[in-house]
Amino acid sequence: MRRLQIFSGLVVMIFAAFVCFEASKLPFGTSVRPGPGLLPFGYGALLFIIATIFVGKWILRAGTLEALGSGLWFGVKWRRVTLFLGGLFAYALTLERFGYVLCTWGLMVLLFWREGTRRRLTAIIGGFAVAAMTYLFFRHLLKVRLPAGFLHL
């Protein structure tokens, strides 16, 4: 379990460094007028510091770095991982063409049916509920433009 904790902490550190790098391309502004790069850079730096502390704690608890290398991927269910990544990839490829509601519904049905309930009707209804609730939340409450596809909602 320690190896997975350290690995997840390193992934968060890489993500935080990427956020800081991208935010540094934006102007920081001044103390009176903060720019658009200040907040993401600050959050990225804070996330990087917290992740560094997290990883350091687990490394000190584990003892040595050599003990971490064996079995990092032991017990990973690769079929589930590839199904999940394939579903996300298909979702990204079809989102513009088929729209947010239909693609989200399809992804949720896949995930509910394969990873949650084995009952198809429950997966279909649950997928529709998630797609409808997130659509209403993002589109009507937050006023986010979502890909409509051929449905034009």
pLDDT in tens, the chain (153 residues): 677 888 888 899 999 999 999 988 988 887 788 888 888 888 999 999 999 988 888 777 755 544 555 555 566 677 787 888 888 999 999 988 898 999 999 999 988 887 777 778 888 999 999 999 999 998 888 888 888 877 665
What is the SS3 string spanning 48-102? HHHHHHHHHHHHHHHCCCHHHCCCCCCCCCHHHHHHHHHHHHHHHHHHHHHCHHH
pTM strictly above 0.75:
no
Residues 6+ apart with CB under 8 A from 120: 113
Asked if 56 and 46 touch (Cβ cutoff 8 Å), the reply is no
Look up residue 140 and give its two tokens: 């009507």
Q: What is the rounded CA–CA span in Å between residue 90 and residue 77? A: 20
